[in-house]
Structure 1
Amino acid sequence: MEVINIHHPYKKEQIPDDSVVLALGYFDGVHLGHQAVIAKAKAEAEKRNLKVAVMTFNHHPSIVYKKLDIDSMKYLSILERKIELMESLGVDYFYVIEFTYDFGTLKPQEFVDQYIVNLHAEVAVAGFDYSYGPKDIANMKTLPIYAKNRFDIIEVTERVSDGSKISSTNIRTALDEGDMEYVNSKLGYIYQFDGYVMHGDARGRTLGYPTANLRVEKHIRLPKTGVYVVSVCIQGTWYKGMASIGYNITFEKDRQKTIEVNIFHFNKMIYGEKIKVRWHHYLRGEVKFSGIQGLIEQLDMDKLESEKYFLENPESLNGNREMKE
């Protein structure tokens, strides 16, 4: 897959000559609804012997439209992760548009001319709620007006699972509540992000539960505070584990939020390593214990529950589950 970074206005030579089927959207999380859009684009491309292109933005449009603080934005999939997911779906060209004020204030006709027609799209594929400007005049119903018969249009209908609309908004809400079963069922894969292993207090070793302290990119949306069943990929191998997102309130107050991962049956030093963590199941909230022994007993129970989860869900460690649809 070729990743093409675009700053408006772009130069003509930045655009590959190939005619494409172009999938449009922001695609935060690349959930099952997004996957349906890309699958439709891919099927149409195979039918017409064309390349598949996807266009997205480097950050959420609301930063420009609603003047939100860019540092406060949290995503289900930061750009690095989104690139991984798109590549796994068989995309040929991945356009990442820098969403600036100039780009965001393009008129609908200008957007269609410059970012659909001039990207050599023979077909544009998007979800039913896709917009490319003010929603009342720049939506999927009005797209044929701006297209002027220069490309075909495929609208992908709303995806519903178990009576619930599949949307990034609903998935974010569930993540904030720690409902990983909902999150993972709507994503179609297990929620995952990367982080670097850094030095911490080394207190876990004295408890019999050494942890990898994870530093993650600031725009990653974390599950809610608590203890989770996780799996961890280190140098290409997946391990079972459990993780805590919280403030270590048992030992002192007013600490910064930390992510600590206990990796089962693993005792190597991995400081500085970049590891992947998948978030399978919420076990419990963060609790302040009156003493170390109470914490150790709880950790013993957490590990038993985690091992039970993997025993009952053996497919969880199968990396091929990712992007199963």
Structure 2
Amino acid sequence: MKTIKLRHPYQPQQIPAGDVVLVLGFFDGVHRGHQQVIATGKKIAAERGLQLAVMTFNQHPAVVFQKFTQPIQYLSTLNEKEMLMEKCGVDLLYEVAFTSSFAGLSPQAFVDQYIVGLHAQVVVAGFDYTYGKKAVASVAQLPEYAHDRFETVVVDKLEDQGEKVSSTRIRQLLLAGKVETAAELLGYVYQTPGVVIHGDARGRELGFPTANIQVAPHVLLPKEGVYACELQVGGKWYQAMGSIGHNDTFGPNRELTVEINILDFDEAIYGEEVAVSWNAFLREQVAFDSADALITQLKADKQATREYFERKINFSAD
């Protein structure tokens, strides 16, 4: 897959020659609904002998339009989005910088420069895709702006349990600690990237040494709590017990931390770029009366983590 970063106005020579099927969307998380849209484009591209291109943005349009009062927390970083797109079989990934100048394009100018200009023969988008004000710039108006230069294919919404599969719904599930349900909608277990940093070494003192993870900025963390999870270090995944919380047992007003106790692992990994896979929510965070009470609970959490992975392995074997 080739990734091409565009900033408005782009130079025509940045666009590879050759016609494409162009899939449009922001694709935060590249969940099952997004995958359905991309798969539709991939099928058409294969039938017509064309390359499959996807156009997305480097940041959410709401950043420019100031629709959110709080910083946006994404389900996937750009790097993660690129990896997920490659798994979907995308040939060309256009990452357009969503800036004020880009946002100021008229619907016709957007179509001329970012659809026709990218050599699209067929455009594929979800039913709710817009490229300006919905009343004049939804997928329903695309044929009007196309002037017979490309075809438009609209993909209907994907539902699960009677509800639309959406990034918003997945965020709500993660913030409620329902990571297993979120994984069903994503099509994979939710992950957060980060770097291992030094902590206060309290976990080691308790007999449960942890890797303290500095999570990548603007990435959504699941609900505070204790999880069965996995940590990827150097391309290898390790079973682990994870905690998102403030360590309230040791005092109030502490910073939020992400701490991962890797099972059967005793190596120094400071400075490593890692990813945490949040497999299952085990329990809420609790302020314990003493360190001994916390240790007792951590032993139970570790056993629950082992049992989770044993069940998972046995289920896979069946």
Aligned to 2:32: 32
Supply the AA of the counterpart residue of 2:291: I
Q: Secondary structure at the match of 1:281?
A: strand
Q: Take 1:26 and 1:145, find their aligned partners in 2: how far apart are those partners?
A: 22
Aligned to 2:150: 151
Q: Conserved in 2, the CA contact under 8 Å of 1:227 and 1:283?
A: yes
Aligned to 1:252: 251
Q: Conserved in 1, the CA contact under 8 Å of 2:127 and 2:155?
A: yes
Deviation at 1:153, TM superposition (A): 0.9
Q: Take 1:316 and 1:219, find their aligned partners in 2: how far apart are those partners?
A: 35
Asked whether 1:17 is paired with 2:28, we answer no
Structure 1 residues 316 and 167, CA gap change in structure 2 (3 angstroms):
farther
Structure 1 residues 61 and 33, CA gap change in structure 2 (3 angstroms):
same
Deviation at 1:164, TM superposition (A): 2.2
Aligned to 2:106: 107
Q: Take 1:2 and 1:315, find their aligned partners in 2: how far apart are those partners?
A: 39
Deviation at 1:68, TM superposition (A): 4.4
Q: Conserved in 1, the CA contact under 8 Å of 2:196 and 2:270?
A: yes
Q: Take 1:61 and 1:74, find their aligned partners in 2: how far apart are those partners?
A: 13
Supply the AA of the counterpart residue of 1:15: I
Q: Conserved in 2, the CA contact under 8 Å of 1:225 and 1:285?
A: yes
Q: Take 2:83 and 2:272, find their aligned partners in 1: how far apart are those partners?
A: 19
Deviation at 1:163, TM superposition (A): 1.9
Supply the AA of the counterpart residue of 2:194: G
User: 1:12-70 deviations in whole A, cap 9, x for unaligned?
Assistant: 0111112110000000010000000111111111111111110011110011123546x
Q: Take 1:120 and 1:151, find their aligned partners in 2: how far apart are those partners?
A: 9
Consecutive unaligned residues of structure 1, counting only runs of 5 or more, are 319-325
Structure 1 residues 63 and 247, CA gap change in structure 2 (3 angstroms):
same
Q: Conserved in 2, the CA contact under 8 Å of 1:231 and 1:317?
A: no
User: 1:225-248 deviations in whole A, cap 9, x for unaligned?
Assistant: 111110111112211111111111
Consecutive unaligned residues of structure 2, counting only runs of 5 or more, are none
User: 1:207-262 deviations in whole A, cap 9, x for unaligned?
Assistant: 11100000111110000111111011111221111111111110122111110000
Q: Take 1:93 and 1:315, find their aligned partners in 2: how far apart are those partners?
A: 39
Q: Take 2:95 and 2:314, find their aligned partners in 1: how far apart are those partners?
A: 33
Q: Take 1:315 and 1:121, find their aligned partners in 2: how far apart are those partners?
A: 47
Structure 1 residues 46 and 140, CA gap change in structure 2 (3 angstroms):
same
Q: How many residues align?
A: 317
Per mean C-alpha deviation after superposition, the further-off stretch among 124-133 and 305-314 is 305-314
Q: Conserved in 1, the CA contact under 8 Å of 2:75 and 2:220?
A: yes
After superposition, residues 99-138 of structure 1 pair within 5 angstroms as 99-138=98-137
Q: Take 1:211 and 1:93, find their aligned partners in 2: how far apart are those partners?
A: 40
Q: Conserved in 2, the CA contact under 8 Å of 1:245 and 1:260?
A: yes
Percent of pairs with identical residues: 49
Aligned to 1:48: 48
Deviation at 1:315, TM superposition (A): 8.0
Q: Conserved in 1, the CA contact under 8 Å of 2:125 and 2:154?
A: yes
Supply the AA of the counterpart residue of 1:199: H
Q: Take 1:157 and 1:183, find their aligned partners in 2: how far apart are those partners?
A: 21
Q: Secondary structure at the match of 2:248?
A: coil
Q: Conserved in 2, the CA contact under 8 Å of 1:197 and 1:270?
A: yes
Q: Take 1:124 and 1:101, find their aligned partners in 2: how far apart are those partners?
A: 24
After superposition, residues 1-325 of structure 1 pair within 5 angstroms as 1-66=1-66, 68=68, 72-314=71-313
Q: Secondary structure at the match of 2:140?
A: coil
Q: Take 1:203 and 1:68, find their aligned partners in 2: how far apart are those partners?
A: 37
- TM-score (norm: length of structure 2): 0.97
Supply the AA of the counterpart residue of 2:17: D
Q: Take 1:258 and 1:122, find their aligned partners in 2: how far apart are those partners?
A: 48
